[in-house]
């Protein structure tokens, strides 16, 4: 499942995404900051969907269109896209910028969620 975040829902959704019904943080949130006009973003999007599906017990995918959510993008200092942020408890713990191969993303995500 992919959630589309906007400036209006970003704070609320990030605070609740990845939490169990008891409020415990049981999943990481992978946020994809992208734009529809960005070629590398359009290539990376399906890769992220595929990878997060493989990690669905540990990771939730959220997408932020930087043109439609400038406040959320600014909060994460997004100045290049695609920009990926990995969150735990609503705070960024890791991330990367640019088009990255699928195997590298899998390895990065495996290492990031182990820490």
pLDDT digits (tens, 9 = 90+) for 14-66: 877 766 555 566 789 999 999 999 999 999 999 999 999 999 999 999 999 99
Domain range enclosing 39 = 2-114
* Domain CATH for 92: 3.40.30.10
What is the distance between the alpha carbons of residues 7 and 66, in angstroms, rounded to a whole number?
10
Residue 83 a catalytic site member: no
Task: Give how many domains the chain has, as a whole number.
Answer: 1
pTM above 0.95, yes or no: no
At residue 70, does pLDDT exceed 70? yes
- Of 29, 38, 47, 109, the active-site residue reads 38
- Of 41, 64, 69, 85, the active-site residue reads 41
* Average pLDDT in the chain: 90
């Amino acid at each position: 499942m992919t959630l589309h975040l906007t400036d209006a829902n970003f704070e609320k959704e990030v605070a609740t995404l990845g939490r169990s019904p008891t409020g415990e943080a049981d999943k990481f949130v992978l946020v994809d900051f992208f734009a529809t006009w960005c070629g590398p973003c359009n290539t990376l999007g399906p890769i992220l969907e595929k990878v997060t599906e493989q990690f669905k017990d540990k990771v939730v995918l959220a997408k932020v269109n930087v043109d439609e959510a400038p406040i959320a993008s600014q909060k994460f200092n997004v100045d290049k896209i695609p920009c990926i942020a990995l969150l735990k408890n609503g705070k960024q713990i890791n991330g990367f910028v640019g088009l990255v191969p699928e195997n590298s993303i899998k390895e990065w995500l495996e290492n990031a969620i182990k820490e």
